[in-house]
Amino acid sequence: MMPRRHFLGGLAVAGTAFAIPASVLAQEATNPPPSAAPLDGHFHPLGKAPSKYTVEILEQAKAKLPFADTRDFDEKNKGLIAPMTEMKIMADSGHVAWDMERFQFLDQEAEFDSIHPSLHRQSKLNNNYGLYEVIPGIYQVRGFDLSDVSFVRGKTGWIVIDPLISAETARAAWNLFQKHVGEGLPVSAVIYSHSHADHWGGVRGIVKEADVRSGKIPVIAPRNFMEHTIAENVYAGNAMNRRLFYQYGLLLPASPHGYVGQGLGQAVSAGAMGLIAPNRLVEKEIEEIEVDGVKMIFQDTPNTEAPTEMNTYIPEMKALWMAENVIASLHNIYTLRGAPVRNPLNWSKYIAQALYRFGQEAEVMFASHHWPRWGNARIQEVLRGQRDLYAHMNNQVLHFANQGVTINEIHNVYELPQGLQDKWFCRGYHGSAQHNSRGVIQRFLGFWDCNPATLIPLSPADSAPLYVEMMGGSKKILARGQQLHNEGKYFLAQEILNKLVQAEPTNTAAKNLLADIFEQIGYQQENPGLRNSYLAATYELRTGIPQGNTADSSSPDVIRAMSTELFLNFLAIRMDSRKAEGMRFTINLITPDNGEKFLVELENATLTNIQGFLADKPDLTLTINRTDLEQTMMGAKTLEAQIKDGTAKAEGDVSVLAKLGSTMVDFDPRFQIMPGTKSFAANVAKTDAYEVSVGEPTPE
Ligand SMILES: [Zn+2]
């Protein structure tokens, strides 16, 4: 996620010196009075305290939560060998890669009136920070990143499962482990459970690539791993990176009124992400492999939490590792940053298989987030609950859909059964019943509710002015919106204020009132993705999208992992078709070192490619080794320079490359989401025409 980090360059993400432009402070004097007095101690000068309605909602929620069940705290604390004493882990490039200091406030008060009690509880549980024994021979370092890293004793060394996001946090975890348990033995194997970046990004902190290439260290992953590590994020990469600011609250300081953790873990580390390709893929549905003398049974679980994922059972230790298929939360069916909707029924069935294949005898179950479960009864309880959680969501949502409930209503209709609501590990700290239920309908029926009025709707900015006019103008809307706000009717208030902000993006009073409304809704959420999204919009409405330059670079490992076809597909997305009107040419692209060839064609203002074909009479034939092409993809050397010095061979009309290059557009990682928030001219980094600028894979 390099673009994101560069975007953040001017902000103190650690939450100390949080820069608010002076112009924002000045607004207060000239605008109508805000809906409540700014709160002393809030990180934002326009920030408000939770209202009495919000406090009441959180108190009611608290009364219904199963606080008598404290087993999660026992399980999270069990087996502690050594807490991590340094609160910050530094990145090799000098900045702070990981900071647990900023979450200590969560343990300092019993409750906060601006944090949902269930979310507060989860964030306290995620304040585990150190080395833990799972059972003799299996250890975990937790709280060093969004995910956990696990170490299993092999015959000659340590089998590392899911080495975090950054080399620095993975290395720090390994060092702590070695200090207390590791006996100086080396890493003997690595396992990646799935394609999301928090499960492989730190691998360079614990092994050398040469040892993987030589086969000395097996790196085991589920089939199609490399295809999916990058593919999930390329086509809509810039949009996903932008949307992370909402789901992950990237602009929000850690604070009772801001960011309070991510549910899966406290945060995403900001060190060096790298990827070493696996040298051993698990190809079968169930595959037994002896890994450094330890018998492991891998269960392939495609199209569950990730497109490619696997669970692992270690029979000799009766230890079941559930990857990210089973965690201490409801997971995302639909993920707010944007991703294809997942298959909850499939997910449920793979959990059921694990329950009946391994869960009848397993004595410990651990995963790549949160804490382990001990004892067969507890394991079965969790597996059964999680199985039913995803199945229920699939079945009951479709049950309602078959009776006419639409994507625009389901989140107000669907509820988890009480039995699941009473289980902490089924509550929504990543997915929520609201956004997941909409996701299920999206998966099966798509976006349309079947009302023709929503079939070809006007864009919000085009319909809003008529609403404002018919409602009697902005003054009336502001007054009514204020009244609804004062009565705690925030969802009604957002309906009309959103129309006003859409119609009048420069109306600061409207934006500030909508921000106040969003803030209260944000405080009321149990789910951190929902909370962060409301509070991120609050922040941007009050302050605007932060100024500053963006830089762009993708890590070399990510570029290497991208297939040439994916690269060509991405170029076709980066191309502004309107600039390609009337262009027509054919290029044969040949990459001799890996034996690939592509027919690339521009026609009808559309760029296409097909692998394995060549045109008989191309306008241009470009021959370049894939390894050299990567230099161009990462922006180190232009295609022109490659041709000029003979690294690439161009036969035919070379001018088509410049023509194609002239159609390429740089995506702005700060595009506007809420109207009237882009108050500063963004300086988007100018990338070369054939450079890949998708950012880095998203953790989850
Ligand atoms: Zn994860």
* Alpha carbon of 490 to ligand 1 centroid (Å): 33
Give the CA distances from residue 506 to residues 425, 500, 502, 674, in Å, rounded to whole numbers and listed in that order. Answer: 44, 10, 9, 11
Confidence (pLDDT) at 681:
56
Confidence (pLDDT) at 10:
35
Q: State pLDDT tens for residues 67-88.
A: 999 999 999 999 999 999 999 9
* Alpha carbon of 38 to ligand 1 centroid (Å): 37
Q: Is the model more confident about 558 or about 412?
A: 412
* Alpha carbon of 200 to ligand 1 centroid (Å): 10
* Alpha carbon of 371 to ligand 1 centroid (Å): 13
* Alpha carbon of 518 to ligand 1 centroid (Å): 28
What's the whole-number mean pLDDT along residues 203-218? Answer: 98
pLDDT-derived band at 680, boundaries 50, 70, 90: low
* Contact present, 683 and 549 (Cβ < 8 Å): yes
> If we measure between CA atoms, which residue out of 149, 145, 146 comes closest to residue 132?
149
* Alpha carbon of 323 to ligand 1 centroid (Å): 8
Q: How many helices (H) and strands (E) does the chain have?
A: 25, 21
Q: State pLDDT tens for residues 4-39.
A: 334 443 333 333 223 343 333 334 334 455 568 999
* Alpha carbon of 521 to ligand 1 centroid (Å): 27
Confidence (pLDDT) at 6:
41
Distance CA 454, CA 62 (A): 38
Distance CA 557, CA 162 (A): 17
Predicted confidence (pLDDT) at residue 1 exceeds the cutoff of 80 = no
What's the whole-number mean pLDDT along residues 208-234? Answer: 94
* Alpha carbon of 630 to ligand 1 centroid (Å): 28
Predicted confidence (pLDDT) at residue 375 exceeds the cutoff of 70 = yes
Contacts for 334 with CB less than 8 Å, ≥ 6 apart = 341, 342, 431, 435, 436, 438, 439, 442
* Contact present, 118 and 426 (Cβ < 8 Å): no
Q: State pLDDT tens for residues 591-617.
A: 999 999 999 999 999 999 999 999 999
Q: Could you tell me the pTM of the whole model?
A: 0.94
Q: State pLDDT tens for residues 262-305.
A: 999 999 999 999 999 999 999 999 999 999 999 999 999 999 99
Q: State pLDDT tens for residues 643-665.
A: 999 999 999 999 999 999 999 99
Percent of the chain with pLDDT over 90: 89
β-pair partners for 142: 130
Q: What is the mean pLDDT of the chain?
A: 93
* Alpha carbon of 422 to ligand 1 centroid (Å): 24
Predicted confidence (pLDDT) at residue 131 exceeds the cutoff of 70 = yes
* Alpha carbon of 212 to ligand 1 centroid (Å): 23
Q: State pLDDT tens for residues 161-201.
A: 999 999 999 999 999 999 999 999 999 999 999 999 999 99
Confidence (pLDDT) at 694:
75
Q: Amino acid letter at 334?
A: Y
β-pair partners for 88: 99
DSSP of 645-675: TTSSEEEE-THHHHHHHTTB-PPPTT--SST
What's the whole-number mean pLDDT along residues 402-424? Answer: 98
Predicted confidence (pLDDT) at residue 2 exceeds the cutoff of 60 = no
Percent of the chain with pLDDT over 70: 93
Give the CA distances from residue 674 to residues 5, 23, 221, in Å, rounded to whole numbers and listed in that order. Answer: 21, 19, 40
Distance CA 259, CA 558 (A): 29
Confidence (pLDDT) at 36:
84
* Alpha carbon of 314 to ligand 1 centroid (Å): 21
Contacts for 299 with CB less than 8 Å, ≥ 6 apart = 285, 286, 310, 311, 312, 313, 350, 353, 354, 357, 358
Q: State pLDDT tens for residues 469-506.
A: 999 999 999 999 999 999 999 999 999 999 999 999 99
3-state secondary structure at position 128: coil
pLDDT-derived band at 693, boundaries 50, 70, 90: confident
Distance CA 551, CA 686 (A): 8
The length of the chain in residues reads 700
Predicted confidence (pLDDT) at residue 572 exceeds the cutoff of 70 = yes
* Alpha carbon of 170 to ligand 1 centroid (Å): 14
Confidence (pLDDT) at 551:
60
Confidence (pLDDT) at 386:
98
* Alpha carbon of 109 to ligand 1 centroid (Å): 28
* Alpha carbon of 368 to ligand 1 centroid (Å): 7
